[in-house]
């Protein structure tokens, strides 16, 4: 009841007009922007144009001034930059302090972060600091009404329905956005913008964590989100050995291998290949779904592909409802035939 009273009180005192601009958190690692940033700027541009306001980026790190022009090239009109050696590697407390103070000083109307490991950690901390709400893992954002409310849509109840969430009683409106879903902004080096340095002033006790060592994963890196062709396998493969066939097929096509949850859970392939609600979201030119039934949680990660080719022996499998080309039959007969044709051509 305290929370309800507080929220009603906030609704009465809340000054909507004080908040303007769409902010994008520009996540960088080792001085390189993460691919999700161009997508956030693409989506942010759409929202900023609709709200008739500015699109801004906020980036933290050490010796990262080059990133400002890159962010402007992707459409940011203003870049807030926090450059300090304590910000070199991401730490929750340091980043929350600097961006939290910037939010309270500049009052953005919307703040978007990628639903990456860092974005998922930082977003809630910033929301608590700003005393506002946050919608995690959004797949669609729209300005839905005259009150400039951001309608934030995300899968809910295990992906069985899409929930649209509003934050009408506080600002900024904050969302983490699933990578691979939004259209990336196009880079244009001619764009002009302003760079605004953020004041970074750490007091003793502000940073309570220390990075002792960074251990890079030695796991094979699968670059699903950048792949132009993806060959995915599901439980229809029958065993892990089936992925050797898919590897060969993908190699011939110049693509990479993806997988359904059933294949990953069976231990046939590493989790980094997973596509869907709990894995990567992909948008290749061609997506081959081999022995995949087409559950809604899988479709959530790949139905933005330009062309979907389904290979399944069940003519009634739901995957055929989204497929542009459907091949009904045993994948162990169909895939070798396609490979033979590829060798001939
Ligand atoms: P199945 O549904 O078992 O389908 C196998 C298909 O292979 C069948 O259509 C069958 O006809 C066909 N087949 C069999 N043998 C052959 C053959 N020889 N040749 C051709 N076709 C053949 N799933 C995901 O993929 N990604 C996610 O991120 C994800 N997240 C989830 C989150 C939640 C909260 C929940 C509840 C579920 C999630 N799932 C996810 C699981 C999802 O619901 C399905 O269970 C899963 O996608 C099924 O995988 P599949 O299509 O490989 O297997």
- pLDDT over threshold 80, residue 6: no
Confidence of residue 7 (pLDDT cuts 50, 70, 90): low
Give, using CA atoms, the residue closest to atom 37 of ligand 1. Answer: 297
Nearest CA to ligand 1 atom 8: 293
Q: Is the CB of 292 under 6 A from ligand 1?
A: yes
Percent of the chain having pLDDT more than 90? Answer: 80
Kindly report which listed range (12-16, 56-60, 303-307) carries the lowest average pLDDT score. 12-16
Backbone angles phi, psi at 294, to 5 degrees: 100, 40
Question: Does 281 contact ligand 1 (Cβ within 6 A)?
Answer: no
* Residues 200, 91: Cα–Cα separation, whole Å: 14
Omega within 30 of 0 (cis) for the link into 172: yes
Report the separation in Å between the CA atom of 297 and the middle of ligand 1, taken as the mean of its atom positions.
Answer: 9
Quick check: 216 pLDDT over 90?
Answer: no
Question: What percent of the chain has pLDDT above 70?
Answer: 94
pLDDT tens figures, 235-267: 999 999 999 999 999 999 999 999 999 999 999
Q: What's this model's pTM, rounded to 2 decimal places?
A: 0.73
Residue 162 has pLDDT above 80, yes or no: yes
Distances (CA, A) of 15 to 107, 112, 142, 145: 11, 21, 21, 17
Atom of ligand 1 nearest to the CA of 319: 9
How much distance in Å is there from the Cα of 7 to the middle of ligand 1? 42
270-294 pLDDT tens trace: 988 999 988 888 999 999 999 999 9
> Ligand 1 center to residue 46 CA distance, Å?
35
Q: What is the mean pLDDT of residues 45-69?
A: 97
d(CA 203, CA 296): 49
Nearest CA to ligand 1 atom 45: 262
Count of C-beta atoms within a 10 Å radius of residue 252? 14
Q: What's the gap in Å between 263 CA and the centre of ligand 1? A: 8
Q: What pLDDT score does 335 carry?
A: 98
């Amino acid at each position: 009841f305290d929370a309800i009273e507080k929220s009603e009180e906030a609704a009465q005192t809340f000054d909507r007009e004080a908040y303007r601009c769409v902010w994008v958190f520009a996540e960088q690692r080792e001085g390189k922007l993460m691919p999700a940033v161009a997508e956030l700027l693409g989506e942010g541009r759409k929202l900023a144009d609709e709200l008739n306001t500015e699109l801004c980026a906020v980036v933290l790190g050490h010796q990262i001034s080059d990133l400002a022009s890159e962010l402007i090239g992707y459409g940011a009109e203003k870049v807030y930059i926090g450059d300090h050696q304590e910000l070199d590697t991401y730490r929750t407390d340091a980043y929350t302090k600097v961006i939290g103070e910037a939010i309270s000083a500049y009052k953005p109307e919307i703040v978007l972060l990628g639903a990456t490991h860092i974005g998922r950690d930082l977003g809630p901390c910033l929301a608590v600091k700003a005393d506002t709400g946050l919608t995690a893992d959004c797949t669609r954002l729209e300005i839905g009404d005259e009150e400039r409310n951001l309608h934030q849509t995300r899968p809910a109840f295990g992906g069985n329905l899409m929930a649209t969430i509003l934050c009408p009683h506080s600002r900024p409106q904050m969302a983490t956005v699933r990578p691979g879903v939004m259209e990336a902004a196009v880079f244009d080096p001619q764009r002009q913008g302003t760079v605004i340095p953020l004041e970074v002033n750490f007091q003793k006790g502000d940073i309570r964590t220390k990075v002792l060592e960074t251990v890079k994963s030695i796991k094979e890196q699968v670059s699903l989100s950048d792949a132009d062709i993806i060959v995915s396998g599901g439980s229809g493969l029958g065993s892990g050995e089936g992925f050797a066939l898919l590897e060969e097929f993908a190699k011939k096509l110049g693509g990479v291998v993806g997988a359904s949850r059933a294949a990953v859970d069976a231990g046939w392939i590493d989790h980094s290949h997973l596509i869907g609600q709990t894995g990567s979201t992909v948008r290749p030119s061609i997506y081959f779904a081999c022995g995949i039934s087409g559950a809604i949680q899988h479709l959530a990660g790949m139905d933005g592909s330009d062309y979907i080719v389904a290979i399944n022996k069940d003519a009634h499998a739901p995957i055929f409802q989204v497929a542009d080309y459907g091949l009904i039959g045993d994948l162990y007969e169909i895939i070798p035939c396609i490979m033979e044709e590829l060798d001939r051509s």
